[in-house]
Amino acid sequence: MRKLVKQFVGICSQTLPMKEVIYEFGSLRVEGQEKIADLRPFFKGKKFVGADMRQGIGVDVVLNLHKIDIPSESVGTVIIMDTLEHVEYPHKAVEEAYRILKPNGVLIISSVMNFPIHDHPHDYWRYTPEAFKSLLKPFSSSFVGSAGDRTFPHTVVGAGFKGEISDEEMKRFKTKFKIWQNQWSSPFRSGRKELIRMYAPPIILSIYRKVRGI
């Protein structure tokens, strides 16, 4: 997980009605990501379940996003961060997320556009903001944004709301999102280390950290 994506989850946890049970799909913390990819501290005191297609660190249950073995309308929040590029049928995955969400449930997603191929275990897609709007069509309302060059962003994020969300909640969310977007839309101002942390696949990042001692 990249630093900016984790920051986005933090913004959502502070501003959006992310209720229990919270399921994170793609929760496996690959080598070099054991600490940074842990989202549980954002949801202290709430029931949080880590799910992935394979077992490993951060995974409580093995589930397939194409056919989630969870009853309909039984989950409060679904989190799918930097995972949809690895999902062969993303529309089916989002439809399944919608199905398991309770009324007024929330889905938050992120993925990449301008980003290297990184196989975990497969890498299928690169998303534009319009692609995320298409994925989120089942929801009553949605939000899609990006960071990076406006015409070629490195990161696309979104939120789908299975019901109503108050104007006040959206105002708080959009205010914090704009700060986040501005911070990450000019990454070259952050220096070489931050660029490497943001763009490098986990295996390369792990090697870089060992060599540089970071």
Q: Where are the alpha helices (DSSP H) in 118-166?
A: 129-135
CATH number of 3-212: 3.40.50.150
pLDDT class for 211, splitting at 50, 70, 90? very low
Instruction: Provide the percentage of residues in the chain whose pLDDT is more than 70.
Output: 87
Mean pLDDT of the chain: 90
Q: How confident is the model at residue 18 (pLDDT cuts 50, 70, 90)?
A: very high
Alpha carbons 36 and 24: distance in angstroms, whole number: 15
Residue 13 structure tokens: 């946890």
Contact 154, 115 (CB under 8 A): yes
Helix boundaries (H) for 61-201? 90-100, 129-135, 167-184, 192-199
Chain mean position to CA 193 = 22
| Greater pLDDT, 194 or 116 | 116
- Check: CB of residue 65 under 8 Å from CB of residue 87: yes
For 86-126, how does the pLDDT look when each residue is reduced to its tens digit (9 = 90+)?
999 999 999 999 999 999 999 999 999 999 998 878 999 99
Q: What is the model's pLDDT at position 190?
A: 42
SS3 107: strand
Express each pLDDT in 126-168 by its tens digit: 999 999 999 999 999 999 999 999 999 999 999 999 999 999 9
Output the CA–CA distances (angstroms, integers) from residue 53 to 43, 75, 109, in the order listed: 22, 18, 17
More confident position, 208 or 107: 107
Sketch the domain layout of the chain as residue ranges.
3-212
**Predicted TM-score (pTM) of this structure:** 0.87
